[in-house]
Structure 1
Amino acid sequence: TDHNVRETLKICDIGYLLSDGKIIEKGTPDEIANSAIAREKYLGEGFKF
């Protein structure tokens, strides 16, 4: 677990995003970075690696 999502996504194969104890998204770093759910709930619309 880490709150520095850019650094974490650079070193993982598969990532999981949790909200209220539930997995709301999982996938490769690119899938997470491009996920509408991940952008809305966590990353923000302007997220870039």
Structure 2
Amino acid sequence: MHPPLWHPPIELSAAEQVIVSRIRRAKLFIFLRLIRHRRSCRVLVSSTSPR
């Protein structure tokens, strides 16, 4: 039995946009949020590929 696949949204929600506009020092978290959909896809592919 496998857990359901997670498909993170690419676009920022309205709440996330407000938070991003207020962040001044933690730019790394904004960057990680913006590339989240690419990272989760890469992790998924690497975890399902045969070794």
Which range, TM-score by smaller chain?
A: under 0.3
Structure number having the greater helix percentage: 2
Comparing both chains, which one has the higher relative contact order based on Cα–Cα distances under 8 Å and sequence gaps of 6 or more?
A: 2
The structure having more radius of gyration, on CA atoms, is 2
Give TM-score scaled by structure 1 length.
0.24
Structure number having the greater strand percentage: 1
Give TM-score scaled by structure 2 length.
0.23
